[in-house]
Structure formats: structure tokens, C-alpha cells
Structure 1
Amino acid sequence: MPTLHLKTLKCVEQEDWTFHDDVLLKVNGATVEFTSMDKGEKHSVDQYISFEGKAVVKLYEADYGADDDDFLGAHAVKRGSGVLHFTRDDATYQLTYAVS
């Protein structure tokens, strides 16, 4: 069974221009990380997730019921390593990962 290692998340550009972003990172529908980030910050995620077939990684900026959470993008990974870029809703995030 493959294992996805989520390494680091970098905020290049925030979605929320009035306050920090509250970022939700989900894999196959389950929340694996929640953190607050500002432009230029880098966060060590260091999470390992086992999966079958493929892992779908989604990133959101939480709005706490005042509005729907802002969807920042999704990527499916099966193997390899690299950087996933999330660029929806005027935000830019980079997530480094590896699958073993």
C-alpha cells in the first residue's frame, strides 16, 4: 500500500487579504492538517497517509460558517515526489510531497 508523505506547505499569496488564512488540508476527504498562515510563511506538515489507488489532496481556506470554505485547488497523486501548486481564488500555496 502506498504512503503519501506531506512535507511542507508554503503560502506564497494569501486568499484572505484582511487577515491570515486558516488553511484546511484534506486527503481523500479527511482533514489531515489545519493551520493559520500568512504570506511568505512555510509550515512543516510532516504527515504520512496510507492510501489505495490514488490520493486526492485538496486545500481550503476556512470561513467558519459565515460563508462556504474557499476551495483553493485539488490534485491526485499516485507516486513520485514534487510540489503541488494550489492557485484558485487568488491564492498561491505550494505543498511538497513524496509517495513511497
Structure 2
Amino acid sequence: MDQDKGDKGEDPRDCARDALSGDRWTAFMGWALKTVIALIAIGAAAASIPYWERADFPVTSLIIYVAGMVFIAMPLCLYYESLLKAHEDSRVPHPS
């Protein structure tokens, strides 16, 4: 009578497969976030090249860097953080 402890209709292999695909997606998003941050930094540095020989401040470089970090990297970072939090919550056993 008390033999069925798991959720009915849920195969443990499906849960493991979902966890593995979730881990892959989280790792991919971490890699994507780091890549985007590097590309923004490289773009900002490339925009500042014409200003290296002059005393002018490279405003274009600053705009590229700040806008890229605020509007592109920050949402990716928040999404990545939510993925990590979801994985942490799913791995912690809930008291029954």
C-alpha cells in the first residue's frame, strides 16, 4: 500500500534528463553572458581607438560600454541569476 512514494506518472529518467538539459542551458547562458560582456568591452575599446592619439575623451566608447552593459548584459545577468536560483531550489530537498 505504501510502496508508491514518488509522484504518479513521473519517470525518474525524465527528471534526470530535465535536470541535465537545465544544467546545459544554465552553462550555455553563463558562457553567453561572458561572451556578450567581452564583445561589449571589445567594441568599446575599438570605438576609442581614434581618440588614443588625442587628448579628447572617447565619449562614443563610454556610450557603447554603458548602453551595452545596461541594456544587453544586465538583463542577461538577471536571467542567468534566476536560472541559477531555480537550479539551487530544485536541488534542495523539500521537507515533507
TM range (shorter): under 0.3
Bigger relative CO (Cα 8 Å, ≥ 6 apart):
1
Give the TM-score taking structure 2 as reference length.
Answer: 0.20
TM-score norm. by structure 1 comes to: 0.20
Q: Give 1 or 2 for the bigger CA radius of gyration.
A: 2
Q: Which has the larger helix fraction? A: 2
